Structures are given as structure tokens and as C-alpha cells.
């Protein structure tokens, strides 16, 4: 490297063995730079003990040790693997859980208008008041509980940041947190980052789909239990809580110090005659619940990463303490755009019929195959039992399906801490009808 910083690995190695003789080989610019460094080091070492100075020079020679990971068990997720494979094989990607269509142009206009109106600087830490007010109004009209927008609603950088912040604000090292498997992939790392201990309870699967065995959840409670994390409508199973689930959960936490994180990001995707049993509807549960939702899911803008947490003032205050040093604020123009767009409730009220149509199209198309369809009562996921087609493990079956049939899916085993095979995979039907038809044409061979 002529006239450069003589920084190649070979030169550095030689420099280490020859001390300062390397400088003879440097260009004039590098020599000036090295001189500056020598002068700086001289001044620094004059101002400290010779022991400290030699510690610095020793450290500069020591190679950087590998980091001790805070999350040693986390590797490349199956979602990344399957998406890469789908792209490589030209498969229809029904693995990834997000729409392949765009959002309402009116929402884009509202955000653009906000930018042009100069809403481009830091918003208040908890979110702009009009958006918090809009969330408060929506929750009150749908679930009957009025959260105070000033003290009980916080706008977050998507549900993922909300979930991490909930865990960080209430779980202390050694606390236990009950999670119900199959479980969304961010919960357990969040618990581990907080120094907590995840305690796993598995859902049961029968002819009517997946359900939570509340007796097992109750049995998992110990004096160390601090939080129970629940998710309805549920990713990946498409199951939903009914009033009995809520009653059982409420009975478990009654009279304890256990808090609840209720992940309701699919709250507007509940089908048929069912209704969404939000924790907000149930006063006793709501008193100890952080309710998390995501505008990304509701308005087909998963890439915007914006959501909210509704929780009683005491819980929200602690949430905000962590939130302010976690992200501090969430981007301003999206907040103004969403606040304006939410004046019309139709987009979230119409979401269930919109996705029910896609679910029905997909289920109808699969009905002639050997896949056994599990109920999909909520979310935009359809689980299928493929045991009549293959006895491959789930991840292998998904790879085969992607490579040989041309449709990507996600193995349910990816949502468990310990390997667990149930012969079930998840398809995402948040896709254009044409995408679903292409996938169905391919799957019809099975
Ligand atoms: C159950 C569940 N919770 C949380 C999230 C994260 O939502 P967001 O994209 O708003 O962070 C997802 C996204 O897939 C999810 O499925």
C-alpha cells in the first residue's frame, strides 16, 4: 500500500515482531500520522503512572477477545432460511408473515402531508397526543375500557420493542416468566436479556385445533413468577382466546403479584362468529395487563414498525422509564399520518372480512389435497397437518415443499425451545389472491 496507512495484516504482523522499524517503510503522510500518535501517547503517558501506561500499550497489542454473547442460543432464524430458499428456488413465499400488497394510498397521503406540514422533529416521548387519543377512542369503542391517553397509552417502535420494553421494565434477574409454546420468537430472548427465566408450557392440539391447558399454566406458577406472556389471536396457530380462556387466566393471577403481557397484534383479524377477547375488555385482567398492538399488522405496513402499549398508569409509568432510554420516541410523521387515518374506523373494522375472504380462498383450495386443515379463527395464518403426505420432520418438509413443490411454509417446531415435532406447518395467507392461487395450483399436486 503505497503512501497508505501501512495497515495490511502482513505489515501489522511484521510491525509487532519488529517494534517501530515498520515506519521506515511508510510514506510521508503516514509518517506524519504516526508522529502525531507518538506525541499523543507521550503526553498521555506523562500524565499517568508508568503501570497504567504500560497496561494501555499491552492492551493495544492484545487481540480482541470474542464477545460473550447475551443470547448465545440465537442463530439464523428459520424465517430467514426459508425466505432465502424461497427466493433461490423461485417459490411462492407463504412463509413470511407479511402482506405482498401495499397499504391504502390514503394512509400514504396522510403521512406525506404530515412530513410536508413540518412534522419532522422529535415527538413527545410517549407519542403524539392525537395518536394516543385515537388509540384510546378505538379501544374504548371496541372493548369498553377508556385508557387515559396522557398516562396510559404509549406509542412504540412496533410490537417487538413494546414486548422487550414490557419485559425489561418488570422482570428482574431470577424472576420467572411463563410463556406458552408455540411462542413468537422475540419473547424468550427478551426474557433472557432481562436476566429472567422462561418457564415453558405447551399448547395442546386436538381435532379442534390448538388450545392452552390452563391447568398446566397454573401448575407452572411459583413464588418467583413475575409475568405471563399470552398472545391472542395467536401466531403461529391461528387460535384465539374465548371468554373461558380469559376467565382461567384471570383466576390464575388473582391475588398474586403476577403481571400479564397480552400480545394482541392481530386483534382485528378474528373471523366468523367470534369476537376478540382483548384483555382490555376484562377489568380484573386489564388492571395488571400490558396490552400490545401493532399498526403494522392492522394497516399492512409491517415495515413502518409502529405500535402501542395500553396499560394502567402505574404500569405505564414504569414502562415509559425504560422506553425513554430504549427508543425515546417513535418517528413523528407516521404518528401524525396514522392519527389522521384513524379518524375513519372502517379500515380496521373491515380487516376481518378482508382476511376472511383470503382465508376461505386458501382453505377451499387446499380442501382437495391431503393436508389436514386446522381451524384458523384469527391472524393471517393457516396451519396444516401434513402427516398424510410425509413423515419428514417439519423443517425438512418445509425445505422439500419449497424446493420441489415451489411453495414456502414455516415449521411449527421453530416456535419451540426444545425440538418438538407435530407434523404441522404454517402458511401465511396475507397475500394477493393471485399469489394464493399460484400457490394453490402447486399445492394441488399433494
Ligand atoms: C405475535 C406477534 N407479536 C409481535 C409481532 C411483532 O410486531 P411488530 O412488527 O409490530 O414489531 C409479531 C410480528 O410478526 C407477531 O406475530
Would the pLDDT of 17 be above 70? Answer: no
Q: Is the Cβ atom of 159 under 6 angstroms away from ligand 1?
A: yes
Which of 188, 265, 428 for mutating ligand 1's site (highest number of atoms within 8 Å of CB)? 265
d(CA 59, CA 208): 62
User: Given pLDDT bands bounded at 50, 70 and 90, which one contains residue 18?
Assistant: very low
Kindly state if the Cβ of 265 falls inside 6 Å of ligand 1.
yes
Q: Can you point out the beta strands (E) in 182-258?
A: 197-202, 204-206, 209-211, 225-231
CATH code for residues 78-98+350-443: 3.90.1150.10
Measure the CA–CA gap between 166 and 315, rounded to whole angstroms.
Answer: 9
Kind of pairing between the strands at 225-231 and 209-211: unpaired
Report the CATH number of the 106-344 domain. 3.40.640.10
Distance 186 CA to ligand 1 centre (A): 9
pLDDT higher than 80, residue 265: yes
Query: Given a cut of 90, is residue 43 above it in pLDDT?
Result: no
| Nearest CA-CA partner of 310 in 263, 378, 276 | 263
pLDDT at 96: 87
Question: Is 204's pLDDT higher than 60?
Answer: yes
Q: What is the pLDDT of residue 78?
A: 85
Query: What integer pLDDT is reported at residue 61 of this predicted model?
Result: 75
pTM over 0.75? The answer is yes
Q: How far is the CA of 58 from the centre of ligand 1 (A)?
A: 46
At residue 38, does pLDDT exceed 90? no
Ligand 1 contact, 237 CB (< 6 A): no
Q: What is the pLDDT of residue 76?
A: 84
Q: Where are the alpha helices (DSSP H) in 47-102?
A: 50-61, 78-89
Is 90 exceeded by the pLDDT of residue 52? no
Span 324-356, pLDDT tens digits? 999 999 999 999 999 999 999 999 999 999 999
Q: What is the pLDDT of residue 37?
A: 44
Cis bond upstream, residue 182 (ω within 30): yes
Residue 265 CA, ligand 1 centroid: distance in Å: 6
User: What's the pLDDT at 207?
Assistant: 85
- Summarize pLDDT for 230-243 with one digit per residue, the tens: 999 999 999 999 99
Nearest CA to ligand 1 atom 4: 159
Q: Tens digits of per-residue pLDDT, 361-414? A: 999 999 999 999 999 999 999 999 999 999 999 999 999 999 999 999 999 999
The dihedral built from the CA positions of residue 150, 151, 153 and 159, taken in this order, carries a sign that is positive
Q: What average pLDDT does the segment 121-133 reach? A: 98
Mutating to test ligand 1, I would choose from 99, 163, 180, 184 the residue with most ligand atoms within 8 A of its C-beta, which is 184
CA 160 – ligand 1 centroid, Å: 6
- For residue 294, how far is its CA from the centre of ligand 1 (angstroms)? 7
**Cell numbers 500499550: residue:** 57
pLDDT recorded at residue 77:
84
* Share above pLDDT 90 across residues of the chain, in percent, rounded to a whole number: 83
C-alpha cell belonging to residue 130: 392525537
How far is ligand 1, taken at its centre, from the CA of residue 322, in Å? 20
Instruction: List Cβ<8 Å contacts ≥24 apart for 140-147.
Output: 141/345, 142/276, 142/278, 143/276, 143/278, 143/280, 143/281, 144/280, 144/281, 145/280, 145/281, 145/283, 145/286, 147/280, 147/310, 147/311
What is the whole-number distance in angstroms between the Cα of residue 26 and the centre of ligand 1? 54
Atom nearest to 160 CA in ligand 1 = 11
Residue 382 in contact with ligand 1 by CB distance below 6 A: no
Task: Identify the residue whose C-alpha is closest to ligand 1 atom 14.
Answer: 97
pLDDT digits over 289-313, tens only?
A: 999 999 999 999 999 999 999 999 9
* pLDDT > 50? residue 14: no
Q: With 60 as the cut, is the pLDDT of residue 420 above it?
A: yes
Return the number of other C-beta atoms located less than 10 Å from residue 78's C-beta. Answer: 19
Domain segments of the chain as ranges: 78-98+350-443, 106-344
Which set of grid coordinates corresponds to residue 443?
A: 399445492
φ and ψ at 362, to 5 degrees?
-70, -45
Q: What is the pLDDT of residue 41?
A: 43
Give the max Cα distance, the chain: 83
CB of residue 262 inside a 6 A radius of ligand 1: no
**What's residue 54's pLDDT?**
56
Ligand 1 mean position to 380 CA, how many Å? Answer: 12
How much distance in Å is there from the Cα of 229 to the middle of ligand 1?
A: 13
pLDDT at residue number 29: 53
pLDDT number for residue 49: 53
DSSP string, 310-334: E--HHHHHHHHHHHHHHTS---HHH
Residue nearest to atom 16 of ligand 1 (CA): 235
Amino acid at each position: 500500500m503505497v503512501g497508505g496507512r501501512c495497515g495490511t495484516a502482513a505489515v501489522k504482523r511484521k510491525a509487532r515482531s519488529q517494534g517501530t522499524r515498520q515506519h521506515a517503510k511508510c510514506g510521508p503522510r503516514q509518517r506524519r500520522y504516526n508522529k502525531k500518535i507518538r506525541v499523543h501517547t507521550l503526553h498521555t503517558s506523562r500524565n499517568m503512572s508508568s503501570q497504567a501506561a504500560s497496561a494501555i500499550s499491552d492492551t493495544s497489542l492484545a487481540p480482541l477477545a470474542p464477545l460473550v454473547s447475551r443470547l448465545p442460543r440465537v442463530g439464523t432464524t428459520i424465517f430467514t432460511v426459508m425466505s432465502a430458499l424461497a427466493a433461490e428456488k423461485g417459490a411462492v413465499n407463504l412463509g413470511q408473515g407479511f402482506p405482498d400488497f401495499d397499504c391504502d394510498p390514503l394512509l400514504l397521503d396522510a403521512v406525506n402531508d404530515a412530513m410536508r406540514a413540518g412534522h419532522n422533529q422529535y415527538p413527545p416521548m410517549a407519542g403524539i397526543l392525537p395518536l394516543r387519543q385515537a388509540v384510546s377512542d378505538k379501544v374504548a369503542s371496541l372493548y369498553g375500557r377508556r385508557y387515559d391517553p396522557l398516562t396510559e397509552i404509549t406509542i412504540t417502535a412496533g410490537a417487538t420493542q413494546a414486548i422487550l420494553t414490557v419485559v425489561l421494565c418488570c422482570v428482574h434477574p431470577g424472576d420467572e416468566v411463563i410463556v406458552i409454546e408455540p411462542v413468537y420468537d422475540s419473547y424468550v430472548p427478551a426474557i433472557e436479556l432481562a436476566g429472567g427465566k422462561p418457564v415453558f408450557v405447551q399448547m395442546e392440539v386436538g381435532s379442534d385445533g390448538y388450545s392452552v391447558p390452563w391447568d398446566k399454566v397454573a401448575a407452572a406458577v411459583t413464588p418467583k413468577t413475575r409475568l405471563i406472556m399470552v398472545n391472542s389471536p395467536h401466531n403461529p396457530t391461528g387460535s384465539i382466546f374465548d371468554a373461558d380462556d380469559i376467565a382461567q387466566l384471570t383466576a390464575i393471577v388473582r391475588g398474586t403479584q403476577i403481571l400479564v403481557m397480552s400480545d394482541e397484534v392481530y386483534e382485528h383479524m378474528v373471523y366468523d362468529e367470534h369476537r376478540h377477547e382483548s384483555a382490555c375488555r376484562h377489568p380484573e385482567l386489564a388492571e395488571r395487563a400490558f396490552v400490545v398492538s401493532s399498526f403494522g399488522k392492522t394497516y399492512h405496513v409491517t415495515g413502518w414498525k409502529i405500535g402501542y402499549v395500553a396499560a394502567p398508569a402505574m404500569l405505564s409509568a414504569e414502562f415509559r422509564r425504560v422506553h425513554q432510554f430504549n427508543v425515546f420516541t417513535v418517528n413523528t410523521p407516521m404518528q401524525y399520518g396514522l392519527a389522521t387515518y384513524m379518524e375513519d374506523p372502517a379500515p380496521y373494522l373491515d380487516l376481518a372480512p378482508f382476511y376472511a375472504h383470503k382465508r376461505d380462498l386458501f382453505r377451499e383450495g387446499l380442501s382437495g389435497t391431503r393436508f389436514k386443515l386446522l381451524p384458523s379463527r384469527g391472524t393471517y395464518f393457516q396451519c396444516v397437518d401434513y402427516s398424510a403426505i410425509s413423515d419428514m420432520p417439519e423443517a425438512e418438509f418445509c425445505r422439500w415443499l419449497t424446493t420441489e413443490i415451489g411453495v414456502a411454509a414455516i415449521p411449527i417446531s421453530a416456535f419451540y425451545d426444545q425440538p418438538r415435532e407435530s407434523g404441522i406447518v404454517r402458511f401465511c395467507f396475507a397475500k394477493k389472491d393471485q399469489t394464493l392461487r399460484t400457490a394453490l395450483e402447486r399445492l394441488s399436486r399433494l
